[in-house]
Amino acid sequence: MREFILFSRGVTREFKINDLPNAGRMDLIARCITNAIFLSYSLRKDVKIHVVLNGPPNPPLTVTFFTNELKNVSPDERNVASHINIAIKNFLKGKKESEPGIFIEKKSFEKIVEEKVEEYGNENVIYLHKDGEDINSVKFNSNTVAILGDNKGLPEKQEKFLDKLRIKKVSLGKIEYLSSQAITILHYELDRRNLWR
């Protein structure tokens, strides 16, 4: 399984689909989801992306997309964002399973990270960061959980939390990519190592 945890400032209320940047960079979030889940003509198998929404009014909420169950999602920002909007609406009605393969919960960044460390061991959880160990010298297993921040990165508190859990920082080289590009590159590196599922 490959999983991604995105720390975002996405809003925790319904938002205007015609103004994604002002909904806590919901455009960035949508691009991250697209690159986590899509290939040409198909969804990847065995991929989850957990987006922690830390924006107003009632953070945190965590929205999860799980490719093995997803239906009717298209790669454009507007479509992906519309599914997040539906999830938020459903959460407000008390529904946690929003649509097939799309789940939403009142869950913090720390909580989801702890769950994944528990599930896979902290050696399989990485934090994508420019100052980390170069990915070329990192050994991966078939299970990888990658943590990343949005355009503003992780707050100090959350970085310290990852340090305490001894989560390894991994770098994609000297260049700082968009979060959505970093997801594509990590997938590519794992694809190249033939680490599927």
In the complex, the residues that contact a second copy under the rule CB under 8 A are 18, 20-21, 27-28, 31, 34-35, 38-41, 74-79, 151, 172-179, 181, 184-185, 188, 191-192
CB closer to a second copy, 32 vs 112: 32
- Decide whether 93 or 174 has the Cβ nearer to a second copy: 174
Output 25 or 116, the one with its CB closest to a second copy.
25
Take residue 110 and report the two structure tokens written for it.
């720390």
- List C-alpha distances in Å: 90 to 13, 14, 98, 125: 11, 10, 6, 30
Nearer to a second copy, 165 or 185 (CB): 185
Q: Which amino acid is at 100?
A: P
Q: How far is CA 64 from the centre of its chain?
A: 8
In whole angstroms, give the CA distance from residue 147 to residue 51: 10
Nearer to a second copy, 75 or 165 (CB): 75
Amino acid at position 156, single letter? E
3-state SS of 104-172 is: EECCCHHHHHHHHHHHHCHHHEEEEEEEEEEHHHCCCCCCEEEEEECCCCCCHHHHHHHHHCCCEEEEC
Provide the minimum distance between the beta carbon of 146 and a second copy in the complex, in angstroms, as a whole number: 15
Residue 28 CB, nearest distance to a second copy (Å)? 7
Least distance in angstroms from the C-beta of 94 to a second copy: 31
User: From CA 9, how far away is CA 45, in angstroms rounded?
Assistant: 27
Choose between 56 and 173: whose C-beta lies nearer to a second copy. Answer: 173
CA separation for the pair 58, 14 (Å, rounded): 11
Q: Which residues contact 90 (CB under 8 A, 6 or more apart)?
A: 96, 98, 104
Least separation in angstroms between CB 176 and a second copy: 4
Residue 77 C-beta: closest distance to a second copy, Å: 5
